Structure 1
Amino acid sequence: MSVSNHENRKSRSSSGSMNIQLFHKTSHADSLLTQLNLLRKRRVFTDVVLHAGHRAFPCHRAVLASCSRYFEAMFSGGLKESRDAEVNFHDSLHPEVLELLLDYAYSARLIINEENAESLLEAGDMLQFHDIRDAAAEFLEKNLHPSNCLGMMLLSDAHQCQRLYELSWRMCLANFANLYHTEDFLSLPKDKVQELVFSEELEVEDECIVYEAVIDWVRADIGRRHLDLPDLLRCVRLALLPETYLWHLHLFICYKTGLCLKKNSC
């Protein structure tokens, strides 16, 4: 149709009033994603290849940049990476997890379960798929239990999932008496042990449990952790311990850490 014919038809159809209609196909977004996904699987118009482990994933930069601030920054930053036809994550990202992220990018759908939730949270945070990170965190919140709360506390702290962290933290404090002898507790970093035992909200029947937790944690790697003992003991209310515990502490320092005072004070 020529421009002049279009103008003539506009004039003939005009009644002098505004008569408009909005056409909106609600399924267009889904159809578009479906077609893009088909193009990806056929490797049509793909302009970047992601590598993880020994697998390769041809993709469209525009789709990745639309879903992830990480890829948006990578492809638009003007650096060497923005021009590279390949991005290699090596072993920092499991190929099955990357595949899940890409399936979500091209379908807006993702199945989260107990086996992949933690990996999806970590990968979602790493590649700034924030929707996936938050969805995985919400899944883990619903499956939080005393048996996994210590691990969830560390995971959520590392990946800035505030609500999951707060729920995990409160569960750790409430169940401390049953947690301090577990492998998860004994493998905690020093700062988390300090925060837990020093908290006013720690739920324990008496201070002996706090003392035992500190000693057990130090004993788990005494070669390196004996130097942490003074800092941790400052978090224990020693005045509330029975005299037998204080004597035990004295012997522990003397014979286990080699910090005994000279002149045979032991």
Structure 2
Amino acid sequence: MSVSNHENRKSRSSSGSMNIHLFHKASHADSLLTQLNLLRKRRVLTDVVLRAGNRAFPCHRAVLASCSRYFEAMFSGGLKESQDKEVNFNDSLHPEVLELLLDYAYSARVIINEENAESLLEAGDMLQFHDIRDASAEFLEKNLHPSNCLGMMLLSDAHQCERLYELSWRMCLANFASIFRTEDFLNLPKDKVQALIFSEELEVEDESLVYEAVIDWVKADMERRYNDLPELLRFVRLALLPESYLLKNVASEDRYGLRAWGVYAWHSATRVRGTSAAYRT
């Protein structure tokens, strides 16, 4: 009998009762992804090619659009790009990182480790694989350390990972004495240096460390940062520094052309000395 005789079968089998059965195969989603992944690897029914570096990745638009708002907007936006057969990321995305994202899209699994976590976070944010971005941020939170907290602070700030940023920020404040001489600190943008030394929660036993941090940061790129020094010195609690310390350091700064700013610091301290200047935590 032809399967098209649906109406006849309905009338023959109906008893008027609500005798129904819901069939649900729990493993269907996994089976579907597995089959789609096999089709991808065999390049069957693929309708777009992603390129990164010197590698090409044939894919299915529907799969990409299902797990990435970036690709959903690209393929359904009605613009010229929606009809392109290739999407070329050139060198803006490492092919190994793109491969990890695609493996996740077709399997719901990805291995995150110390070598790829930062790259996955960046790529996940760029291509709006938000689950990957958040999972990578969580991995980095668990591996946060004073040796990497400055880098994590910048990374999380750039990619809107609020919890990772907050944890990194607090670790930077708590470990300022051990991080301000590192290359990561010397490479910080001015606004981050300013925010750190201005914070009421900065943990230093001696304000001289804050003064030295500012001077060292300026010396690291004298040509570009020389004129930033007076503004940054305003955030150093100069009144907490002994006059003997300032005089000694003012003299030493003459070697770097900073004597004028050192004199400024000394005069600033003497003007405010005796006023209330609470110690940091």
TM bin (shorter chain):
over 0.9
Task: Check 1:222–1:5 CA distance in 2 against 1; reply closer, same or farther (3 A cut).
Answer: closer
**Which residue identity lines up with residue 191 of structure 2 in the other structure?**
D
CA distance in 1, matches of 2:196, 2:6: 75
Q: How does 1:46-85 map to 2 (within 5 A)?
A: 46-85=46-85
Match of 1:121 in 2: 121
Please, what TM-score do these two structures have when normalized by structure 2? 0.88
CA distance in 2, matches of 1:96, 1:225: 38
Match of 1:185 in 2: 185
Partner secondary structure for residue 57 of structure 1:
strand
Runs of 4+ with deviation above 6 angstroms: none
CA distance in 2, matches of 1:140, 1:79: 37
CA distance in 1, matches of 2:2, 2:31: 31
Task: Check 1:81–1:252 CA distance in 2 against 1; reply closer, same or farther (3 A cut).
Answer: farther
Match of 2:239 in 1: 239
Q: How does 1:1-266 map to 2 (within 5 A)?
A: 5-248=5-248, 250-251=250-251, 255-257=255-257, 260=260
* Aligned residue pairs, count: 261
Partner secondary structure for residue 144 of structure 2:
coil
Deviation at 1:250, TM superposition (A): 3.8
On the 8 A contact 1:180/1:186 being kept in 2, the answer is yes
Identity %: 84
CA distance in 2, matches of 1:37, 1:245: 67
Deviation at 1:253, TM superposition (A): 6.1
On the 8 A contact 2:251/2:259 being kept in 1, the answer is no
CA distance in 2, matches of 1:5, 1:94: 55
Deviation at 1:252, TM superposition (A): 5.8
CA distance in 2, matches of 1:38, 1:106: 9
On the 8 A contact 1:226/1:257 being kept in 2, the answer is no
Structure 2 unmatched ranges of 5 or more? 262-281
Moved more, 240-249 or 83-92: 240-249
Please, what TM-score do these two structures have when normalized by structure 1? 0.93
Deviation at 1:221, TM superposition (A): 1.1
Task: Check 1:109–1:4 CA distance in 2 against 1; reply closer, same or farther (3 A cut).
Answer: closer
CA distance in 2, matches of 1:3, 1:158: 58
On the 8 A contact 1:222/1:257 being kept in 2, the answer is no
On the 8 A contact 1:97/1:123 being kept in 2, the answer is yes
Aligned-residue RMSD, C-alpha: 1.8
**Which residue identity lines up with residue 160 of structure 2 in the other structure?**
Q
Q: C-alpha offsets along residues 196-236 of structure 1, whole Å, 9 cap, x if unaligned?
A: 01000000002111111111111111121111101110110
Partner secondary structure for residue 58 of structure 2:
strand
Deviation at 1:251, TM superposition (A): 3.7
Task: Check 1:169–1:258 CA distance in 2 against 1; reply closer, same or farther (3 A cut).
Answer: closer
Q: C-alpha offsets along residues 111-133 of structure 1, whole Å, 9 cap, x if unaligned?
A: 00000000000000000000000
Structure 1 unmatched ranges of 5 or more? 262-266
Task: Check 1:5–1:187 CA distance in 2 against 1; reply closer, same or farther (3 A cut).
Answer: closer
Deviation at 1:164, TM superposition (A): 0.2
CA distance in 1, matches of 2:88, 2:215: 45
**Which residue identity lines up with residue 201 of structure 2 in the other structure?**
E
Task: Check 1:240–1:13 CA distance in 2 against 1; reply closer, same or farther (3 A cut).
Answer: same
CA distance in 2, matches of 1:102, 1:35: 14
